[in-house]
């Protein structure tokens, strides 16, 4: 069996996230698997690097799949480009060693949350940004962001049913940039818990509007309790931009 690594770009607006579900095929994984299975004339399972949220996007999503198909990688790439929906593009394909696993070999992932902070929403970026005309205090947001950087138990920043699974993660950095009213929250971690990027972004938005302080974020981090009705930023502003191995 050959093992292929692919880099995928997708607009998640109409999808129920990456991961295939039993009750529908409107997932990115489902669409790619269906095309590859038809091409290879055998069942093909596509392994993704992360389970992105419903409506979230990806610029450089990494996945891999095994197949006995003897087609060249260029033919496979062209086939995917021709038969996948227009909102999913496999940007590149590479044959890799048998041991490569898109999920288990990840060293870090980067997500970017984009906020349109102009007075009026932009009709051309409305599917990819969260719009608010509230004046945001960037200095306070940056101060709160630094509270989260490092290795912590992020149990208060996930909707995951914890059970016996560890919720300790390392946030390597959070950078906040502003350009013409567009605010980008870039965060990199060794791994993200379910909904963690959106909850972090939501918390920082609450800080930006003055509803929370940096000390409140520290308190939430220390409490290690599953959030109840806490701020979860809308998925459309979230994009997976980079995965390192």
Tens digit of each residue's pLDDT (9 = 90 or more) over 133-186:
999 999 999 999 999 999 999 999 998 776 778 999 999 999 999 999 999 999
Instruction: Report the percentage of the chain scoring pLDDT > 90.
Output: 87
Residue 53: active-site member: yes
Return the beta strands (E) in 79-194 as ranges: 88-96, 108-116, 130-131, 150-153, 168-179, 182-189
If you ran DSSP here, which 8-state letter would residue 78 be given?
H
Instruction: From the candidates 11, 50, 53, 116, give the one annotated as an active-site residue.
Output: 53
d(CA 166, CA 137): 33
Using DSSP's 3-state secondary structure scheme, residue 21 falls into strand
CATH number of 2-96: 3.30.70.580
Cβ atoms of residues 215 and 27 within 8 Å: no
Residue 124 token pair: 């051309």
Domain boundaries, the chain: 2-96, 108-244
Give this prediction's pTM: 0.94
- Residue 9, H or E segment: strand 2-10
The correct answer on CATH 3.30.70.660 for the domain covering 108-244 is yes
pLDDT, tens digit (0-9, with 9 covering 90-100), for 190-237: 999 999 999 999 999 999 999 999 999 999 899 887 656 568 999 999
Instruction: Indicate the pairing of strand 2-10 with strand 46-48.
Output: unpaired
Q: What is the dihedral of CA 71, 77, 78, 82, to 10 degrees?
A: 120
d(CA 196, CA 148): 12
Half-sphere exposure of 102 (CA within 13 A, CB side): 25
Q: Which residue has 């696993």 as its token pair?
A: 101
Sequence length of the chain is 245
- Residue 66, H or E segment: strand 57-67
d(CA 218, CA 148): 8
Residue 32 token pair: 């790619």
pLDDT, tens digit (0-9, with 9 covering 90-100), for 5-45: 999 999 999 999 999 887 667 999 999 999 999 999 999 99
Task: Count Cβ atoms within 10 A of the Cβ of residue 86 and give its class: 0-12 exposed, 13-18 middle, 19 or more buried.
Answer: exposed
């Amino acid at each position: 069996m050959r093992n292929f690594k692919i880099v995928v770009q997708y607009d998640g607006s109409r999808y129920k996230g990456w991961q295939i579900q039993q009750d529908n095929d409107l997932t990115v994984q489902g669409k790619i698997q269906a095309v590859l299975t038809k091409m290879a004339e055998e069942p093909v399972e596509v392994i993704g690097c992360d389970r992105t949220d419903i409506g979230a996007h990806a610029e450089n999503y990494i996945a891999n799949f095994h197949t006995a198909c003897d087609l060249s990688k260029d033919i496979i790439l062209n086939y995917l480009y021709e038969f996948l929906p227009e909102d999913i593009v496999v940007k590149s394909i590479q044959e890799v060693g048998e041991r490569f696993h898109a999920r288990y070999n990840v060293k870090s992932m980067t997500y970017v949350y984009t906020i349109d902070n102009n007075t009026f929403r932009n009709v051309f970026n409305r599917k990819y940004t969260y719009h608010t005309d509230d004046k945001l205090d960037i200095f306070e947001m940056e101060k709160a962001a630094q509270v989260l950087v490092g290795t912590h138990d992020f149990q208060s920043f996930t909707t995951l049913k914890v059970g016996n699974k560890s919720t300790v993660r390392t946030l390597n950095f959070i950078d906040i940039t502003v350009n013409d009213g567009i605010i980008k929250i870039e965060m990199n971690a060794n791994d993200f818990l379910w909904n963690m990027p959106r909850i972090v972004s939501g918390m920082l938005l609450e800080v930006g509007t003055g509803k929370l302080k940096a000390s409140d974020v520290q308190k939430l981090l220390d409490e290690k309790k599953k959030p109840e009705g806490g701020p979860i930023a809308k998925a459309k502003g979230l994009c997976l931009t980079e995965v390192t191995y």
